[in-house]
Amino acid sequence: MTSHTFPHRYPIIDLHCDLLVYLTDVPDSKLDNIAEIGCAVPALTEGNVKLQVMAIYSATAPGSTRYAALQRDMFAQLATNTSCGLHAVTTPEQLQQALQNDKGIGMVAAVENASGFCEEDEPLEDGFKKLEKIIEACGRILYISMTHNDDNRFGGGNFSDKGITRDGQMLLDYIHGRRIAIDLAHTSDALAHDILTHIDKERLDVPVIASHSNFRALWDQRRNLPNELAQEVIRRGGLIGMNFLRHFLSSDNPEALMHHIMYGLDMGAQDALCFGADYFYFADSPNLDRFPYYFKEHEQAGTSYNFILERLQNTLPQDQLAKLAYGNAQQFIQRLWEIR
Ligand SMILES: [Zn+2]
């Protein structure tokens, strides 16, 4: 067995990137510009990524829904362009095919911040109509994160202590049974707890994930999951996507990503851990203190996943590597999408 090349053959599913923001917001952006974004198409191809979740991101600010609509339309445009290397994956059959063949990179949309479909000052009903327009244009969305870093009408973001609002509860009620997961990656701890409480109290069919978060016990950052929330996601059969950003790993140790993975496994996340690398365009970012945004080993999709799988090869059994690479995400998505 040629064990040192074995991980090359794993397909990869990744739960989060900001390619749509890059393509709609950055002048002269190009799908194949690896120098500007780590999830450019050639990098995804080289990294054997078979399903990439495309975030539709917006900050909470006036015009947020117009900003998100550009990304919605970009997704639809990429999905219909047969020569761009990307194709939409919205059914269990398409997911199966995407993982098995070499015909490009599958993609599915997700909403990072509900402000992308509902402005702060418009009727909630109008927001739900815009959510439907996103679902229709993209074929489906995998998950919704209610908030980003700040508060909005739905609840408290990462840098807040605010919990859920009435609108947040109504959003959960609205997506009940719609086969859309709720994402805890950008909630305050209070909002995450309130989301779980409301789902349980109302017996809602809304799966829970953390699409691109690491563990706060290892690296104390509000974007990382405290143990009790990580355990809730695991207990509910959700996913935890490992984030490659240095800011959520360690200031100086590239091995920290491996430590987060091992920590998750020790906690019981064998069936929950996956990748949520979080590649985005950062050249226009004002946060110089966060530079470099990624460790060299993780900076682009062409080499990062394989590097991690190879580093873990002597530590973890092959079936666990396969689960991390794609198996857990595949299982989750198939369960979510299949006819019941
Ligand atoms: Zn994010």
The share of the chain scoring above pLDDT 70, in percent, equals 97
pLDDT at 3 over 60: no
Q: How far is the CA of 56 from the centre of ligand 1 (A)?
A: 10
Q: How far is the CA of 38 from the centre of ligand 1 (A)?
A: 15
Query: For the segment 264-285, what is each residue's pLDDT rounded down to a tens digit?
Result: 999 999 999 999 999 999 887 7
- Please, which contacts does 170-179 make with residues 24 or more away whose CB atoms are closer than 8 Å? 170/124, 171/114, 171/144, 171/146, 172/198, 172/199, 172/202, 172/204, 172/206, 173/202, 173/204, 174/128, 174/131, 175/144, 175/206, 176/202, 176/204, 176/205, 176/206, 177/204, 177/205, 179/140, 179/336, 179/337
| Ordered DSSP codes for 151-178 | -BTTB-BTT----B-HHHHHHHHHHTTT
DSSP code, position 104: -
Q: CB-based contacts of 90: which residues, under 8 Å, 6+ apart?
A: 108, 138, 139, 140, 337
| Ordered DSSP codes for 27-63 | TT--TT-TTT-TT-HHHHHHTTEEEEEEEEE--SSTT
d(CA 18, CA 59): 13
Q: How far is the CA of 147 from the centre of ligand 1 (A)?
A: 10
What does pLDDT average to over the chain? 95
Q: How far is the CA of 22 from the centre of ligand 1 (A)?
A: 14
Q: How far is the CA of 209 from the centre of ligand 1 (A)?
A: 13
Mean pLDDT of 14-40: 96
The share of the chain scoring above pLDDT 90, in percent, equals 91
Q: How far is the CA of 299 from the centre of ligand 1 (A)?
A: 16
The predicted structure's pLDDT at residue 8: 53
Mean pLDDT of 311-321: 95
Query: For the segment 196-225, what is each residue's pLDDT rounded down to a tens digit?
Result: 999 999 999 999 999 999 999 999 999 999
Q: How far is the CA of 149 from the centre of ligand 1 (A)?
A: 9
Q: How far is the CA of 220 from the centre of ligand 1 (A)?
A: 17
The predicted structure's pLDDT at residue 7: 47
Residue 59: how many other CB atoms lie within 10 Å: 15
The predicted structure's pLDDT at residue 225: 97
Q: How far is the CA of 231 from the centre of ligand 1 (A)?
A: 21
Q: How far is the CA of 298 from the centre of ligand 1 (A)?
A: 17
Q: How far is the CA of 113 from the centre of ligand 1 (A)?
A: 9
d(CA 223, CA 148): 10
Minimum mean pLDDT range among 4-18, 83-97, 249-263: 4-18
**Could you say which architecture CATH assigns to the domain 3-337?**
Alpha-Beta Barrel (3.20)
Q: How far is the CA of 212 from the centre of ligand 1 (A)?
A: 7
Mean pLDDT of 13-23: 98
Q: How far is the CA of 1 from the centre of ligand 1 (A)?
A: 39
pTM of the model: 0.96
